[in-house]
Amino acid sequence: MIVHGVIITQVKKCATLKWLERRFVMFSDTITAISTANAMGAVSIIRISGDDAISIASKLIGKDLSDKPGYTIHYGTAKENNEPVDEVLISLFKAPKSYTGEDVVEVNCHGGLYITRKILSLIIGLGARMARPGEFTERAVLNGKMDLAQAEGVDDLIRAKDEVNARSAIHSLKGSVSKILMPLEDDLTQMISNIEVNIDYPEYEDVHVMTHEELLPKCNKWLEEIDKLIKTTEQSITIKEGIDTVILGRPNVGKSSLLNALLEEDKAIVTDVEGTTRDIVEGSVRLNDITLNLIDTAGVHDTDDRIEQMGIDRSLQALEKAQLAIVVLDSKKELSEDDKKLLELTKNHKRIVVYNKDDDNTIEDKLSISVKNMRLDPLLDEIKKVYEEELYAAQTDTLNNERQVGLARQARQSVNDAKNALENDTELDLVLIDLENAWHALREITGKSGKEDLLDEIFSRFCLGK
């Protein structure tokens, strides 16, 4: 046991040294950048982070700020060769209580483009280096101020165009991703530790000996959990990104009229001539918490007109790419052969069939609207109903992007491999490799992966050699 204790200490030291080495290479310099938009405004903020941040700010205004406490603001005049450049306010954040975990200074100056860039260049002249895009947040991650998923949340929040996206971003910024992954990660860690100890320390009698029969149901449970997480994430992404929706129908049923009505804009040309729309017309609109990325298409029917046929081909290509098809029929006419063909063509797509031109609201058993009278609610309600599950998923905590989903899929694949191996009575030391792969993929979602971490987890749980 004493021997094991020595090994463990060495492993831990090694990991710490490597981390320190990496930290030294990454963070030996002080970085700066303009944090506000590259446009004229009342105020601009230039951020400085690193060991020299406070001394650079002190030199900028000719006042020693080194003994001032964090979370304080100091007035001064930024000077170049003793000539005043601008009056500034300097906010101090002392390590580790700052965004990056290092000493951070934010210089508030007047928001002209020239003056902001001038002060940035003075700061660079005093020894800071221009930051790479995202480098402040990268430092925050490497200094343990936030995990990778939280850092992605920062970016998502800045880019959020609407409430759904902003709400989801603020949740991930607050650590929702690591919170939802934690139970699964913990469970896996416990299993891996248990098996690893069974294999490496058979003489350690206090530890339960894990069996195939116990592990198999666990794998099934993990598969279920990961599948659910992937599904709700994809549903939530659908709502956040908007639903690619194609409007299809034979000529003159009112497709372009419907597009214009939904967009509240005369985007597509509308006439009573069949075959008015020849190309694709697009527009996005937010209805009932759902964003529709609408595509109006050429009316689909049999035609000898070469140009119209090209438009129809485009309509059918748009259908292939769309997540939702709104098939428009004419409520005043019998179903034509073209209508029937279209219904057959779209039957395997997610679709809503709607009868337009029901101006007197006489159809009862079918979904009918009248664009002419702006009676569109039945269609809007149906869209909401079709996307009920997705709307619910968008309100819950999920993963947030394709990178995270990709890693969840990797984890799923590895758990599935472990399950197959268990079913084939494979030795547990081989099953262990699959479980470790799953563990790493899950941890990579929040940027925590690393063999050293796994060893640390195992050793801290079992306290072997103590």
Identity of the residue, 363 or 430, whose beta carbon is nearer to ligand GTP in the bound complex: 363
The phi and psi torsions of 349 (rounded to 5 degrees) equal -95, 160
| Nearest residue to ligand GTP on Cβ basis | 299
Cβ atoms of 442 and 184 within 8 Å: the answer is: yes
Residues 263-282 that bind Mg ion (CB under 5 A): 276-277
Q: How far is the CB of 423 from ligand GTP (least distance, A)?
A: 55
Q: How far is the CB of 328 from Mg ion (least distance, A)?
A: 10
Q: What 3-state DSSP class applies to 69? A: coil
Rounded Cα distance, 358 and 369, in Å: 6
Identity of the residue, 44 or 370, whose beta carbon is nearer to ligand GTP in the bound complex: 370
b/e burial code for range 101-122 (CB count within 10 A of at least 16 → b): bbbbbbbbbbbeeebbebbbeb
Identity of the residue, 230 or 261, whose beta carbon is nearer to ligand GTP in the bound complex: 261
Identity of the residue, 210 or 369, whose beta carbon is nearer to ligand GTP in the bound complex: 369
Identity of the residue, 88 or 298, whose beta carbon is nearer to ligand GTP in the bound complex: 298
Mark 124-143 with x for binding to Mg ion (rule: CB under 5 A) and - for no binding. --------------------
The footprint of ligand GTP (CB under 6 A) covers 249, 251-257, 270-272, 274-277, 298-299, 356-357, 359, 370-372
Identity of the residue, 150 or 257, whose beta carbon is nearer to ligand GTP in the bound complex: 257
Show the tokens assigned to 58.
Answer: 């002190």
**Residue 275 binding target from ligand GTP, Mg ion, none, CB below 5 to 8 Å by type:** ligand GTP
**Residue 257 binding target from Mg ion, ligand GTP, none, CB below 5 to 8 Å by type:** ligand GTP
Determine, following the binding rule CB under 5 A, whether residue 252 of this chain makes contact with Mg ion.
no
Instruction: Select the residue interacting with Mg ion from 137, 150, 232, 256 (CB under 5 A).
Output: 256
Show the tokens assigned to 224.
Answer: 């279920």
Would strands 281-287 and 351-356 be described as parallel, antiparallel, or unpaired?
A: unpaired
Q: How far is the CB of 258 from ligand GTP (least distance, A)?
A: 7
Binding-site size for Mg ion (CB under 5 A) equals 4
Cβ atoms of 119 and 109 within 8 Å: the answer is: yes
Rounded Cα distance, 254 and 257, in Å: 5
In order of 107, 160, 306, 332, the CA distances from 258 in angstroms are 52, 28, 26, 16
Q: How far is the CB of 268 from ligand GTP (least distance, A)?
A: 7
Identity of the residue, 188 or 270, whose beta carbon is nearer to ligand GTP in the bound complex: 270
Would strands 243-248 and 290-296 be described as parallel, antiparallel, or unpaired?
A: parallel
Q: How far is the CB of 251 from ligand GTP (least distance, A)?
A: 4
Identity of the residue, 269 or 335, whose beta carbon is nearer to Mg ion in the bound complex: 269
- Spatial neighbors of 158 by CB under 8 A, at least 6 apart, are none
A 10 A CB-CB count for 429 gives 12
Q: How far is the CB of 247 from Mg ion (least distance, A)?
A: 9
**Residue 252 binding target from ligand GTP, Mg ion, none, CB below 5 to 8 Å by type:** ligand GTP
Handedness of CA 177, 183, 184, 186 (dihedral sign): positive
User: How many residues appear in the chain?
Assistant: 466
**Residue 356 binding target from Mg ion, ligand GTP, none, CB below 5 to 8 Å by type:** ligand GTP
Show the tokens assigned to 65.
Answer: 């700020």
Q: How far is the CB of 343 from ligand GTP (least distance, A)?
A: 16
Q: How far is the CB of 339 from ligand GTP (least distance, A)?
A: 12
Cis peptide before 202 (omega within 30 of 0): no
Q: How far is the CB of 277 from Mg ion (least distance, A)?
A: 3
**Residue 251 binding target from ligand GTP, Mg ion, none, CB below 5 to 8 Å by type:** ligand GTP
Q: How far is the CB of 321 from ligand GTP (least distance, A)?
A: 19
Identity of the residue, 232 or 356, whose beta carbon is nearer to ligand GTP in the bound complex: 356
In order of 124, 182, 429, the CA distances from 53 in angstroms are 11, 36, 50
Q: Residue 337 burial (CB < 10 Å; 0-12/13-18/19+)?
A: exposed
Identity of the residue, 98 or 257, whose beta carbon is nearer to ligand GTP in the bound complex: 257
Rounded Cα distance, 457 and 214, in Å: 22
Identity of the residue, 242 or 311, whose beta carbon is nearer to ligand GTP in the bound complex: 311
Q: How far is the CB of 434 from ligand GTP (least distance, A)?
A: 54
Q: How much of the chain is helix, strand and coil, in % rounded to 5? A: 50, 15, 35
Q: Note the residues at the interface with Mg ion (CB under 5 A).
A: 255-256, 276-277
